[in-house]
């Protein structure tokens, strides 16, 4: 455990997370005070102080959000580096599997980023209006996000302190691959069916965004997210690594693949965030925005394009598919 905790990246990462959590705790305390005493209709100087304090919560959450966006790839980079010390690990996939906390932690981080985007959007709406109509909603929402953040912080610590450097972990070829003869895909899908689903869902996404069918676009986003994950790991990834048996979501984040993994996962996540965010805003707050629609479309299209490009280029270079 010591070697993990004394690794430079882990120290920087945990130190940053601790500082951010400290700030968030301050924001939490302020929010609790705000919920108790907020009354927009009074003219007291107390109320004006409360309005000023709400700015503190906003600025803290904004700062933390920006840093969490930076810390997510840094977290991946940290685990990737740890693969040098953890026996058996050749990339981040092995390290994140080192204990039960790894995957939940990663998933939680992504969820938190999404919730934070949602909060910031609601906050913008609230401040734009002249009487803070969503104040209570957004404050309670922040409390919920804070709970998630607390769990994340605990998981951070548990995860890094529980990585065993004596027992070897399994490498991605066994986790994801078919070396054991197992098929990693769900619902007994095979690659061709998966690809059809992938492109179909993508088309569905475009249609639902363009025709402004909000609820449908929300559902298709989730579907697309799941299908895209499997498609990238089990199909497109193999073209990035140019090896049909190398199926891994993490290796493409390394430098010998030109860090393309960050681009691929980044575009997918961003596109999905914007779509779901936009859908939520429409459903709950009746806010429409063509800008969001455009951004979502561009990002998702770029994602699909990039993935498909690897296949096409490979075929053009070698004349066959893998």
CA angle 260, 266, 267 (to 5 degrees): 95
Least CB distance from residue 140 to another protein, whole Å? 20
CB of 321 to another protein, least distance (A): 29
* C-beta of 43 vs 187, nearer to another protein: 43
- Residue 188 or 291: the one with the smaller Cβ distance to another protein is 291
The correct pick among 28, 31, 38, 60 for binding another protein (CB under 8 A) is: 60
User: Which residue, 251 or 272, has its beta carbon nearer to another protein?
Assistant: 251
Q: How many CB atoms lie within 10 A of CB 67?
A: 16
Report if residue 67 touches another protein, rule: CB under 8 A.
yes
Question: Least Å distance between CB 152 and another protein?
Answer: 16
* Sole residue written with tokens 């899908």: 189
- Tokens standing for 235? 């199909």
C-beta contacts of 292-297 below 8 A and 24+ residues apart: 293/209, 293/210, 293/212, 296/209, 296/271, 297/206, 297/209, 297/210
Q: Which of 127, 157, 185, 206 binds another protein (CB under 8 A)?
A: 127
Choosing from 1, 29, 33, 84, the residue that interacts with another protein (CB under 8 A) is: 84
CA-to-CA distance for 223 and 34, rounded, in angstroms?
Answer: 38
Question: Using an 8 Å Cβ cutoff, are 60 and 27 in contact?
Answer: yes
Euclidean distance between CA atoms 183 and 8, whole angstroms = 38
Residue 59 sits in the site that holds another protein (CB under 8 A): yes
| Residue 137 contacts another protein per CB under 8 A | no
Q: What b-and-e string marks burial along 150-181, b requiring 16 or more CB atoms within 10 Å of the CB?
A: eebbebbeebbeebeeeeebebbbbbbbeeee
| Choice between 67 and 185, CB closer to another protein | 67
| Single residue of 3, 107, 143, 210 touching another protein by CB under 8 A | 3
Of the candidates 208, 220, 254, 203, the one whose C-alpha atom is nearest the C-alpha of residue 95 is 254
Residue labelled with tokens 């999404």: 114
CA-based end-to-end distance of the chain: 41
Interaction pattern, residues 15-34, with another protein; x per rule: CB under 8 A:
xx--xx-xx--x--------
Q: Which of 25, 65, 74, 262: binder of another protein (CB under 8 A)?
A: 74
- CA–CA separation, 61 vs 144, rounded Å? 13
Q: At closest approach, how far in Å is the CB of 145 from another protein?
A: 18
Instruction: Please choose, out of 6-14, 145-153, 195-203, 299-307, the segment that lies near another protein by the rule CB under 8 A.
Output: 6-14
Q: Output 60 or 171, the one with its CB closest to another protein.
A: 60
Instruction: Name the one range near another protein by CB under 8 A: 129-137, 153-161, 171-179, 262-270.
Output: 129-137
- Residue 302: in which H helix or E strand, if any? helix 290-318
Only one of the segments 68-76, 107-115, 151-159, 270-278 lies at the binding site for another protein (rule: CB under 8 A); that segment is 68-76
Which CB atom, from 79 or from 279, has the smaller least distance to another protein? 79
Beta strand residue intervals within the chain, DSSP E: none
Kindly write down the DSSP assignment for every residue of 152-198, as one continuous string. Answer: HHHHHHHHHHT--SSS----HHHHTSSTTS---SGGG--HHHHHHHH
Give residues in contact with another protein (CB under 8 A): 2-3, 5-13, 15-16, 19-20, 22-23, 26, 40, 43-45, 48, 51-52, 55-56, 59-60, 63, 67, 70-71, 74, 77, 81, 84-85, 87, 127-128, 130-132
């Amino acid at each position: 455990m010591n070697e993990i905790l004394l690794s430079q990246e882990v120290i920087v990462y945990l130190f940053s997370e601790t500082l951010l959590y400290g700030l968030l705790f301050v924001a939490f305390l302020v929010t609790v005070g705000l919920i108790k005493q907020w009354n927009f209709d009074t003219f007291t100087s107390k109320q004006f102080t409360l309005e000023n304090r709400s700015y503190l919560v906003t600025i803290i959450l904004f700062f933390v959000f920006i840093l969490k966006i930076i810390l997510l790839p840094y977290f991946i980079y940290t685990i990737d580096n740890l693969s040098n010390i953890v026996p058996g690990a050749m990339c981040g996939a092995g390290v994140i599997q080192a204990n039960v906390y790894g995957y939940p932690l990663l998933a939680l981080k992504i969820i938190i980023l999404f919730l934070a985007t949602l909060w910031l959007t609601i906050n913008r709406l609230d401040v734009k209006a002249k009487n803070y109509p969503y104040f209570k909603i957004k404050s309670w929402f922040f409390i919920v996000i804070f709970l998630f953040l607390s769990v994340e912080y605990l998981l951070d610590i548990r995860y890094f302190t529980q990585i065993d450097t004596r027992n070897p972990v399994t490498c991605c070829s066994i986790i994801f691959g078919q070396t054991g003869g197992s098929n990693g895909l769900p619902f007994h899908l095979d690659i061709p069916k998966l690809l059809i689903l992938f492109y179909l869902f993508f088309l569905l996404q475009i249609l639902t965004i363009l025709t402004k069918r909000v609820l449908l676009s929300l559902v298709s986003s989730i579907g697309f997210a799941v299908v895209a994950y499997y498609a990238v790991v089990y199909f497109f990834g193999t073209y990035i690594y140019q090896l049909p048996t190398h199926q891994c979501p993490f290796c493409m984040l390394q430098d010998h693949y030109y860090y393309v993994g960050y681009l691929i996962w980044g575009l997918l996540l961003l596109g999905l965030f914007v779509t779901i965010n936009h859908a939520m805003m429409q459903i709950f707050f009746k806010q429409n925005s063509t800008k969001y629609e455009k951004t979502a479309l561009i990002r998702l299209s770029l994602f699909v394009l990039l993935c498909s490009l690897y296949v096409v280029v490979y075929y053009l270079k070698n004349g066959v598919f893998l």
